[in-house]
Amino acid sequence: MNTHTAFPFCPAQPATRMPRLIICAVFACLPVIIAGCSIGEKIDRVTDTVSDVTGNTVAALDDAIDALDRNSSSWQTVLQQTTDKLTTDAQSTVRNEVSDLLSRSVAATGTELRCNVDFIGSRVRQALSRIRARLLHQSVPPVEPALCSVVPPAIDMALDTSRRNKLEFFGYDFDTTPIKVLLHSKSGATDVSSKLDRLTHYHMTLNLGSNGVPLSSASDRLTLEWENRPISSIAVIQPTTPVCEEKTLNPPFPSQATVSYTPPHTRGDRDFSGNGPEVWATGEWINKGTHVDFRLWMKAKETKSDWTTAEGTHTIEAYFPAPSGYRIDSIVGNTKSSIHYVDTDHNDDQQGGGPSGPVKRFTFRGDRSGDDAGSYTSVNVEFNPLVVKLVQIANCAPASAVKSLEIKNLIAPGTLRRFQPMMLRTNP
């Protein structure tokens, strides 16, 4: 019996680098005549090991997402722990992504950041969910830039040009997608995006100097747009610019005062088998300026065994559209309702909610006899009334922007005197 292991189909030096796991499996089967090694068995072992690595990686990401669901402000610790869990060579790509996310998020917490810690935690969770979706070859949602603040919030043309030579934008994920800037006047809108400089993914500046945006006595406002949707409007204050009209509105319920959602099956078999599930859910108003969305997220996870899981997000777009001539400045009151509990029976469970926040009542279905995840496990939401603050979007300056300019000494004394009577009428 020939025991030589140098086969003509197996070069001594592979032309391309193969994963260590596959190389070991192939070379283990080379002396197939001696040991009776089955190629099929070895491939099965490789497949099982690769599957285990993917499962362990997904489990590490799931643990991180679960931890952020419980406490979004702990994002830095969660990301570091997740990086430490991803130790194998096969997990190196995901480990690098998580490590990059940690560095990116830490950088965004400097003195320039104008977003709160919970906001960063929420963005970190979204990023981990996208990493997980790519790993499992699932649909990956687009990365939407988030704007937290603009400095200054309006431009007073009565100021000397040296005191109004730039705008600064603070937020998150400015580098992932094109952002357009438009200069509006009575004659139309001009694209001035070339004057926008992305310093970091959380900080942009717009040049208003002599070689920047050509502001003039005809300029009304500047707007930032993403996918043809305005995400910010900055007033250009002229000698006749008024203070914007503001009002609070409690709109009637839309056609659907409740919503039901069954999240898809994402892990394990489909039967919780009396092991929970542990349930998380969040209902949230999302202010898009032109409208308010309602976003509902639910996750139900088996408490042991193969960790059967159902998880997903359902969004009602334009739950409330802004009336013509107005934008939604803010949502009055709490914008988020969350719940976390462990289901212990086969009954429907009413949990959480209350008079504050979007959700008056959550009603969950968790476990039953037979399959659950993806078919039975679900949530029904009853809404509380939505209250919004509206601001006129005509050629005017918002009262909040005027107050901010006064605090920062970025408004001319004459402009401030002219605005004072209008400010009293707007906010008596």
Same domain for 375 and 272? yes
For tokens 């799931």, the residue is 62
Same domain for 366 and 259? yes
Spell out where 186-304 has E strands.
Answer: 188-191, 196-200, 203-207, 219-226, 229-237, 246-249, 258-261, 265-267, 278-287, 291-301
Task: Tell me whether residue 305 is in a domain.
Answer: yes
The stretch 173-198 carries a mean pLDDT of: 92
- The residues with which 166 forms a beta bridge, in sequence order, are 207
Q: How many CB atoms lie within 10 A of CB 154?
A: 25
Q: Which residue has the higher pLDDT, 123 or 359?
A: 359
Same domain for 79 and 177? no
Task: Tell me whether residue 184 is in a domain.
Answer: yes
The stretch 109-125 carries a mean pLDDT of: 70
Domain edge (last residue) among 190, 210, 240: 240
Total count of domains within the chain: 3
Which one of 120-134, 175-189, 205-219, 392-406 scores highest in mean pLDDT? 205-219
Judge whether 166 and 152 are in contact, CB under 8 Å.
no
Q: Which residue has the higher pLDDT, 177 or 8?
A: 177
Task: Tell me whether residue 224 is in a domain.
Answer: yes
Same domain for 213 and 157? yes
Smallest CA-to-CA distance from 398 within 242, 181, 216 is with 242
Query: What is the 8-class DSSP label of residue 52?
Result: H
CB under 8 Å to 278, separation ≥6 — which residues? Answer: 300, 301, 302, 303, 340, 341, 342, 343
81-92 confidence digits (pLDDT tens): 999 999 888 789
Is residue 31 predicted with pLDDT exceeding 50?
no
| Element holding 39 (H helix, E strand) | helix 39-70
Same domain for 344 and 303? yes
3-state secondary structure of 270: coil
Query: What is the 8-class DSSP label of residue 343?
Result: -
CA distances for 179 relative to 26, 64, 227, 228, 234, angstroms = 50, 30, 8, 9, 15
| pLDDT score, position 36 | 43
Is residue 41 predicted with pLDDT exceeding 60?
no
Q: Which residue has the higher pLDDT, 295 or 141?
A: 295
Is residue 164 predicted with pLDDT exceeding 70?
yes
Give the Cα separation of 313 and 125 in Å (integer).
Answer: 13
Q: Model confidence at 27, in pLDDT bands (50, 70, 90)?
A: very low
CB under 8 Å to 211, separation ≥6 — which residues? Answer: none
Is residue 110 predicted with pLDDT exceeding 60?
yes
Which domain does 128 fall in, by range? 51-135
**Average pLDDT along the chain:** 83
Task: Tell me whether residue 314 is in a domain.
Answer: yes
Task: Tell me whether residue 272 is in a domain.
Answer: yes
Same domain for 384 and 256? yes
Same domain for 210 and 154? yes
- The tally of CA atoms less than 13 A away on the side-chain side of residue 83 is 14
| pLDDT score, position 183 | 96
Domain edge (last residue) among 135, 155, 170: 135
Give the Cα separation of 249 and 63 in Å (integer).
Answer: 41
| Element holding 166 (H helix, E strand) | strand 166-172
Q: Which of 42-46, 295-299, 368-372 has the lowest mean pLDDT?
A: 42-46
Smallest CA-to-CA distance from 366 within 349, 390, 351 is with 349
| Percent share of the chain, pLDDT over 90 | 48
Same domain for 262 and 375? yes
Task: Tell me whether residue 351 is in a domain.
Answer: yes
Is residue 49 predicted with pLDDT exceeding 90?
no
In terms of phi and psi (left: phi > 0; alpha: psi -120 to 50; beta: otherwise), the region of 193 is: alpha
384-427 confidence digits (pLDDT tens): 999 999 988 878 999 989 999 999 999 999 999 999 998 887 65
Judge whether 305 and 275 are in contact, CB under 8 Å.
yes
Q: What is the pTM of this model?
A: 0.69
Same domain for 59 and 184? no
Same domain for 253 and 199? no
Give the Cα separation of 372 and 365 in Å (integer).
Answer: 9
Q: Model confidence at 10, in pLDDT bands (50, 70, 90)?
A: very low
Task: Tell me whether residue 28 is in a domain.
Answer: no
Same domain for 346 and 267? yes
Task: Tell me whether residue 405 is in a domain.
Answer: no
Same domain for 279 and 226? no
The CATH number linked to 155 is 2.60.40
